[in-house]
């Protein structure tokens, strides 16, 4: 059957099972947009191509399916760069399709020409420059395979305008990825299994470090079985939140820079760390020289390059977590680690007296209380998509995610502006889910134009803006490490409720704790997106905090009782 390259793009996407794409048109991709109308695909028109990539990313993280973004050449393509890098750092499978100038014009500084495959080389898992119609279907098939297999990640396909316009025979079967696709042998050596079992069964103070790889592998049940059988407590990374239920008695909570104090202490006292699908990010380890020096380490990861990258381990098992755990489990003995668990329980008790949830609010509205109440009012069932900053850490600490894929957040790149578009993507992927944006006043302003996308595409999510009048996380660093010299961190914002109104959305302002739950409930009850601005304590601090590069146990702790400085309401 003869097809144009433009038709082949959509035909291939449909055959890949794609139903939704996020994009923005322009000259070099116009043939593809013209052909799109013939295909059963929902196109979500974004307001900035960065938004399209975050939407594709949010779609992928919420559903496990590959997200798709599409843009024109030049500025359209370069606007995608931040979103592609965000997906790369967090191993999120997206496919980005960009139009390119005609193949004869490549290299001539043609109108809207950018070498986007060159630009994105270090931030894609793989990318393609396609100059002929008959190369389109094979590139798309392979791109989906590359994006979703092994360690997932972003793939970009740059397609010249003439490739879209010319015609060729379309043969889907012939376009199948040609063997041999590179497939590393992921079977760990059996000696390594025996060593791992020996270390696990002999450990007295083990801790599981549960990472994002558990969620990507779908290994939640196996991790739980492992933890229960061996009686090993489980801590999670930021991206591992949802991999193990916080209601479980063996759950410890988050590790790392803003992790729970008892978790970091337990890691430093452990005699065995079991790293499951996590990559020992520097936000997790602090000073590598003093990190868990008394612990043996077992690392299970699908990417061999992660083993011994940051932390030297005793046993590295390369493979899909589900497979590896399935093979390990039969050898794992029932463990009684009552003394170790009792010790951690004691550490926890010491922390509770400093926990802001146990301190009176004295009439002030704290972000941590807002998050706690949001958790309560949504029954802990919402998909929460956060932006980056203090509010992100409070969300991680105080919204308890029982299920995987219910916290969507930019961890590795820490991309402000991520939340609103990623939440739109999550909602498109999971229309029945209750989706909340939790964003700071700073990050929200980076991509708030996507409010128009919400209106045009009839997206039903809710938005909580945690407005502290500052680029709060940076202000916190200035408070601790730059003698409170607040250079460029105080921030004015538009009247967010009026902004919502300008887009035809409902907006509400909340300044008191008593109003939080009623406002959340009202937003939930209303069809359509509601934006709630929570005007919170301005100079509040995320505790604990391990200063960057410091020893993990050297945490700055919340003084008890919490000092109170100014309020959001005072600033009105």
Ligand X SMILES: Cc1ncc(C[n+]2csc(CCOP(=O)(O)OP(=O)(O)O)c2C)c(N)n1
Site stretch for ligand X (CB under 6 A), options 39-47, 120-128, 465-473, 557-565: 465-473
Among ligand FAD, Mg ion, ligand X, none, partner that 341 touches (CB below 5 to 8 angstroms by kind):
none
Out of 77, 200, 274, 471, which residue is the one contacting ligand X (CB under 6 A)?
471
Chosen residue from 7, 127, 217, 268 binding ligand FAD by CB under 6 A? 217
Q: Is 38 a catalytic residue?
A: no
Binding partner of 303, given Mg ion, ligand X, ligand FAD, none, CB within 5-8 angstroms per partner class: ligand FAD
- Integer Cα distance of 16 and 456 in angstroms: 26
Q: Are strands 383-386 and 435-440 parallel, antiparallel or unpaired?
A: parallel
Taking CB within 5 to 8 Å according to partner kind, which of Mg ion, ligand X, ligand FAD, none is near residue 296?
none
Q: Is 283 in the site for ligand FAD (CB under 6 A)?
A: yes
Tokens of 473: 């996380």
Site string for ligand X, 364-403 (x = CB under 6 A): -----------------------xxxxx------------
- Using a 10 angstrom Cβ sphere, with 0-12 exposed, 13-18 middle and 19 or more buried, the burial of residue 465 is buried
Active site residue 446: no
421 binding ligand X? (CB under 6 A): no
Binding partner at 254 among Mg ion, ligand FAD, ligand X, none, C-beta below 5 to 8 Å by kind: ligand FAD
Nearer to ligand FAD, 139 or 241 (CB): 241
> Judged by CB under 6 A, does residue 415 bind ligand X?
yes
473 catalytic? Reply is yes
Q: Which does 256 bind (CB under 5 to 8 A by kind): ligand X, Mg ion, ligand FAD, none?
A: ligand FAD
Q: Which of 255, 257, 473, 555 is catalytic?
A: 473
How many H helices and E strands in the chain?
A: 23, 20
Asked, as a colleague might, if the bond just before 532 is cis with ω within 30 of 0, I would say no
Q: How far apart are CA 311 and CA 309, in angstroms?
A: 6
Please say whether the dihedral angle defined by the alpha carbons of residues 154, 159, 164 and 168, taken in this order, is positive or negative.
negative
216 touches ligand FAD by CB under 6 A:
yes
Structure-token pair, residue 371: 């998050």
- Stated as kind and residue range, the H or E segment containing 2 is strand 2-4
Catalytic residue (choose from 7, 11, 49, 392): 49
Find the angle CA(128)-CA(129)-CA(134) to the nearest 5 degrees.
95
Residues in CB range of 564: below 8 A, 6 or more apart: 362, 364, 537
- Look at residue 320 and give the partner it binds from Mg ion, ligand X, ligand FAD, none, a contact being a CB closer than 5 to 8 Å depending on partner kind: ligand FAD
**Which of 255, 266, 429, 448 touches ligand FAD (CB under 6 A)?**
255
State the nearest-atom distance from the C-beta of 392 to ligand X, in Å: 7
Residue carrying the six token digits 């003995």: 333
β-strand partners of 506: 530
**Least CB distance from residue 64 to ligand FAD, whole Å?**
11
Is 483 one of the catalytic residues? no
Exactly one of 253, 404, 414, 544 binds ligand FAD (CB under 6 A); which one?
Answer: 414
DSSP conformation class of 354: T
Q: Of 157 and 407, which has the nearer Cβ to ligand FAD? A: 407
Q: Is 111 a catalytic residue?
A: yes
Chain residues that interact with Mg ion, rule: CB under 5 A:
440-442, 468, 472
Closest CA to 208 of 248, 258, 149: 248
Cis previous bond, 544, omega within 30 = yes
The sheet that has 315-318: what strands, in order across it?
Answer: 251-254, 234-236, 206-210, 272-276, 296-301, 315-318
Stretch that binds ligand X, among 323-331, 436-444, 549-557, 560-568 (CB under 6 A): 436-444
Q: What are phi and psi of 387, to 5 degrees?
A: -95, -155
Q: How long, in residues, is the chain?
A: 572
Using CB under 6 A, list all residues that contact ligand X: 387-391, 414-417, 440-443, 466, 468, 470-474
């Amino acid at each position: 059957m003869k097809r144009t390259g433009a038709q082949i793009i959509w035909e291939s996407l449909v055959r890949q099972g794609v139903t939704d794409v996020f994009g923005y048109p322009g000259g070099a991709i116009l043939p593809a947009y013209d052909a799109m109308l013939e295909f059963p695909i929902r196109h979500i028109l974004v307001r900035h191509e960065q938004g399209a990539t975050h939407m594709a990313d949010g779609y992928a993280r919420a559903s496990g399916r590959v997200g798709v973004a599409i843009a024109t050449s030049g500025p359209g393509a370069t606007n995608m760069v931040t979103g592609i890098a965000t997906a790369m750092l967090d191993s999120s499978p997206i496919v980005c399709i960009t139009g390119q100038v005609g193949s004869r014009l490549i290299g001539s500084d043609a109108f809207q020409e950018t070498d986007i495959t060159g630009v994105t080389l270090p931030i894609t898992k793989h990318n393609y420059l396609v100059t002929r119609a008959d190369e389109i279907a094979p590139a798309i098939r392979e791109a989906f395979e590359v994006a979703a297999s092994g360690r997932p990640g972003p793939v970009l396909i740059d397609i010249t305008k003439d490739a879209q316009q010319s015609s060729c025979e379309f043969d889907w079967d012939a376009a199948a990825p040609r063997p041999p696709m590179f497939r590393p042998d992921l079977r760990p050596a059996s000696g390594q299994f025996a060593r791992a079992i020996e270390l696990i069964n002999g450990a007295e103070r083990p801790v599981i470090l549960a990472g994002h790889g558990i969620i990507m592998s779908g290994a939640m049940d196996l991790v739980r079985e492992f933890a229960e059988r061996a009686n090993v407590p489980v801590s999670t990374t930021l991206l591992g939140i949802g991999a193990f239920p916080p209601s479980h008695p063996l759950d410890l909570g988050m590790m790392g820079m803003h992790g729970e104090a008892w978790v970091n202490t337990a890691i430093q006292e452990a005699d065995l760390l079991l790293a499951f699908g996590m990559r020992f990010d520097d936000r997790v380890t602090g000073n590598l020289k003093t990190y868990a020096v008394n612990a043996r380490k077992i690392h299970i990861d699908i990417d061999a390059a992660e083993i011994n990258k940051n932390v030297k381990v005793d046993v590295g098992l390369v493979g899909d977590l589900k497979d590896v755990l399935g093979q390990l489990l039969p050898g794992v003995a029932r463990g009684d680690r009552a003394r170790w668990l009792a010790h951690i329980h004691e550490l926890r008790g010491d922390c509770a007296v400093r926990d802001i949830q146990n301190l009176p609010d004295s009439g002030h509205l704290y972000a941590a209380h807002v998050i706690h109440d949001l958790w309560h009012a949504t029954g802990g069932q919402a998909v929460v998509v956060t932006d980056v900053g203090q509010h992100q850490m409070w969300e991680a600490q105080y919204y308890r995610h029982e299920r995987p894929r219910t916290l969507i957040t930019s961890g590795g790149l820490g991309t402000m502006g991520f939340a609103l578009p990623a939440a739109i993507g999550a909602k498109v992927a999971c229309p029945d889910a209750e989706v909340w944006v939790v964003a700071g006043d700073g990050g929200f302003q980076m991509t708030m134009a996507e409010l128009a996308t919400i209106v045009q595409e009839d997206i039903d999510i809710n938005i909580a803006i945690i407005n502290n009048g500052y680029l709060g996380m940076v202000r916190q660093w200035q408070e601790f490490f730059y003698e409170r010299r607040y250079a460029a961190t105080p921030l004015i914002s538009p009247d967010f409720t009026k902004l919502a109104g300008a887009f035809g959305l409902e907006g509400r302002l909340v300044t008191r704790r008593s109003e939080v739950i009623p406002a959340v409930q009202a937003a939930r009850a209303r069809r359509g997106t509601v934006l709630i601005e929570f005007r919170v304590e301005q100079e509040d601090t995320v505790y604990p905090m391990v200063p960057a590069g410091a020893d993990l146990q050297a945490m700055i702790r919340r003084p008890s009782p919490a000092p109170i400085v100014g309020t959001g309401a005072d600033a009105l």
